[in-house]
Amino acid sequence: MTFARPDHIRDVDTLPRMPAWVTSTRAETLEDGAFLSGAALNHLHLVLGREEVPQALLRDRLALRAAEACVAFSGRSERAGELRDAVHLLRPGDLPGPAGETYHIWRRAVERPVSIKALGRALPAFEPGQIATWLDAGKGLPVTRAAMVLEVVLREVPRADLAALILADAALAQALDWEHLVPLLAAGPKRADLRKQGDDLRLACHRALISSAIEAVRQVADLARRAAHLKAVAPKLRAKGAGDAVEMFLTRDAVAPSALPLPDRAARRLCDRLVDLGAVRELTGRDTFRLYGV
């Protein structure tokens, strides 16, 4: 006997895939880069508009990827697991350290709609007026605007890679009429690319956005399937506060049991139950200080 798949699972299966000619072609010239990045971003734009996409969860997952890249740019060795620990296992009053702070900044940058106030909250070292001036420096089409913002910030503050990449992604989001910043630029380029200027920098940005948009579309498909499964099993959860806990999993890359709105033992039992149901994964491989995510 076969059973029909629930509508929300079938809807996820209909998410369009990135065209093969985008994923298999390398941008050798500025014209090629502009064409391919435009196609990749247009496809990502269409996918992001789908109702079944867990938008906040996707942004938080991409923020982790961007933070990992920025930490590597600074010469540090922390990877995704260590960044998760630095943020999600932080005790009240403790400081996250340089790598953890980078992740904190990216998370703050994506959690609220793009605005000068929100960017100022994420980047408190810079005055809101300065942030607005830098964003206004971007002109033209979306990737060109992002590249111009990246170039002007790094020209004025040469070591501000993190701020420059966040503001470049903010300029891109504004140009594409996205409500939130979606971390794309940081994970694509090499550190040497950030020191380029003019057309060389624009080509590097096109290439970075092609690869990052392809990865973001892959993440969308994966997270949409996982989120749909979590929603499907949620009615089986009987713990008081389980609904709020599920919502946390649907909006955060990783969750510590202690962060859930349940008593400690009940929170751990809920996480184990969700793992048994295949709805979340344990992310650390440890027996203690565990983190869970969709």
Question: What are the Cα distances from residue 79, in Å, to 59, 66, 75, 164?
Answer: 18, 11, 12, 21
pLDDT of residue 10: 53
Label residue 175 by pLDDT band (50, 70, 90).
very high
- The answer for residues whose C-beta is within 8 angstroms of residue 228's C-beta and 6 or more apart is 6, 8, 9, 11, 12, 52
Mean pLDDT of 145-166: 97
**pLDDT reading at 31 higher than 60:** yes
Distance CA(53)–CA(47), nearest Å, equals 8
292 has which bridge partners? Answer: 255, 282
- The answer for residues whose C-beta is within 8 angstroms of residue 20's C-beta and 6 or more apart is none
Task: Output the DSSP codes for 141-199.
Answer: SHHHHHHHHHHHHHHHSTT-HHHHHHHHHHHHHHHTT-SS----STTSS-GGGGG--HH
Distance CA(89)–CA(171), nearest Å, equals 32
Q: Poorest-confidence range of 10-24, 110-124, 132-146, 207-221?
A: 10-24
pLDDT of residue 13: 64
Distance between the two ends of the chain, CA-based, in angstroms?
30
pLDDT of residue 240: 86
Label residue 14 by pLDDT band (50, 70, 90).
confident
Check if CATH label 1.10.10 holds for domain 237-293: yes
Label residue 177 by pLDDT band (50, 70, 90).
very high
* pLDDT tens, position by position, 66-107: 999 999 999 999 999 999 999 999 988 888 899 999 999 999
Label residue 15 by pLDDT band (50, 70, 90).
confident
Question: What are the Cα distances from residue 246, in Å, to 221, 239, 242?
Answer: 19, 11, 6
**pLDDT reading at 17 higher than 50:** yes
pLDDT of residue 29: 96
